[in-house]
Amino acid sequence: MTTESWSPSPGERDENYEWSGDYGEPKFCPIPDLPYGHVFIPFLYLAAFGAGLVGNSFVVWLLSGQQGPRRLVDTFVLHLAVADLVFVVTLPFWATAAGLGGCWTFGEGLCKISSFIISVTRCASTLLLAGMSVDRYLAVVKVLDARPLRNQGCMLTTCGVIWIISILAGVPSLVYRKLLPKPEGPGSLCGDDPTDIFQWLSLLLLFLTFILPLVIILFCYSLIFRRLWNPPHLGRGRKNSLRIIFAIVGTFTCSWIPFSILKTFLHIAHLRALPLECPLVLVLRWGLTLSTCLAFVNSGANPIIYLLLDRSFRARARGSCKMIHPSLASRVSSASSLSGGDSSIFQGWALGRGRNTRMTPRLSLPLNP
């Protein structure tokens, strides 16, 4: 999910060229594909597709069907799960292309639409995490002063604005994404139009929709950490609840930073501001391939984080598994042994109806102060 387009599979045309020191015409560099990339890259993409589809669908179902008042942070969690769910729908296309050595066989229309979806959802995820960080800062550091701002209407408006910004940020994918001939052999690639205006626009969008939100996230959590570990101390429950959000933000950031750094170098090189010789082109291309795998796998990470760290989520997962198959419940409950925390992102209400369907809610954070 990125604000600029990219080719998740190996073989983008302009990555096979070398820029000399005098910034003259680029010459062709015979860059081999990543060894066994046509085997493990489709496997990783399809694994991320399966995990992300099941996990994020469950989170969306859990929160959208939640009865009673919804906590403010749940709004961000729900929209984040929707973004990841829409994102993973595109992964089978890229898995197929990777398995074919980068050849895109689905036509230019799906090339543009798939790249647009990835751009929009990645931008939305970054901005939603920034919004969640600001909300946590207001809830922990500015508890009383933030009362007028922290209400359901403001949360929904914020999420709506985030989606509008993300859609606008994805428009360049529709304009500049197209089919390009492969450098070697028959077939076409789904890649970027290597024009200077696209390179500058991609750098600008990368700064506005990734670097800037990341700075906001780091700023908010630095203040939260100072508040947590300075008198008066917050209770253990609040610290445990924040641990889940720290894990979500940290996982997303670590997954996307390598790709963003390498993509920045690629844009600068296309603008002839950075000379690249063939060995560096090889490192850049293979690095982009691996970092893209890391970024794509992140789409299924959040439900796993909830399962390992969120006691209420595990209880709901066990309840839903019992409805499907009794033996699945014991497998899910085994995740409890991996985490001793009692933190929760979700309301502590079990699924189903009956005498034991209602559980005591554990609300560790003042989500509606």
Query: Got the DSSP string for 222-281?
Result: HHHHHHHTSSSPPPHHHHHHHHHHHHHHHHHHHHHHHHHHHHHHHHHHHTTSS-B-HHHH
Q: What is the pTM of this model?
A: 0.79
In angstroms, the CA 314 to CA 307 distance is 5
Mind listing the pLDDT tens digit of every residue in the chain (369 residues)? Answer: 444 444 444 444 444 444 333 333 344 566 777 888 888 999 999 999 999 999 999 999 888 876 655 677 788 989 999 999 999 999 999 999 999 988 999 999 999 999 999 999 999 999 999 998 888 888 888 766 666 677 778 888 999 999 999 999 999 989 989 898 887 778 888 988 778 888 899 899 999 889 999 999 999 888 888 877 765 555 555 566 677 888 888 899 899 999 999 988 888 888 877 777 778 888 888 898 899 999 998 888 888 888 888 777 777 777 766 665 555 555 544 444 344 444 555 544 333 333 343 333 333 333 333
Q: Which residues pair with 189 in a beta bridge?
A: 180
Tokens of 235: 């209770």
DSSP state of 207: I
Nearest to 307 by CA among 54, 43, 48: 54
Distances (CA, A) of 254 to 72, 108, 249, 250, 261: 26, 31, 9, 6, 11
Nearest to 2 by CA among 119, 121, 94: 119
What the chain holds in terms of domains, given with CATH numbers, is: 13-309 (1.20.1070.10)
Is 8 in a helix, a strand, or coil? Answer: coil
